[in-house]
Amino acid sequence: MKAKIVGIDPLKTSRTEKAYRRIYFTLDDGSWAKSDIVPAYRNFKTWKPLIQLFESGARVFIEGVELRQPGEVNADSPVRYTDIGFEVKKVQGDKIIQDKLL
């Protein structure tokens, strides 16, 4: 599955004393999802360059996204950057709500 990173929260502290960053996505089917990324965990090495790219102002499209449950991206997904965006068409009745995400 493909996704676009649309937001990243600053570093927060959880009740378990682990710091994390929440990342928000728009998925290629038009739905949204989130994931919490913990810098102390091994999978952070996958997410760090994507976070830096997003924070530099770039539009970040990724592929290899796996959902843990609806609305939640598995942080262990084998995600990778792609320069190929995607189109999302949401239709409500006869009206197009969202034409493109690019």
| pLDDT number for residue 24 | 97
Enter the tokens of residue 38.
């913990």
For residue range 48-100, what is the model confidence (pLDDT) as tens digits? 999 999 999 999 999 999 999 999 999 999 999 998 888 776 655 555 455 55
**Distance, CA of 47 to CA of 77 (rounded, Å):** 10
| pLDDT number for residue 92 | 59
Enter the tokens of residue 17.
């004393």
Enter the tokens of residue 89.
């068409």
Tokens 């990342």: give the residue. 23
Band of the pLDDT at 101, cuts 50, 70, 90? low
| pLDDT number for residue 96 | 45
Of 68, 95, 96, the C-alpha closest to 1 is 68
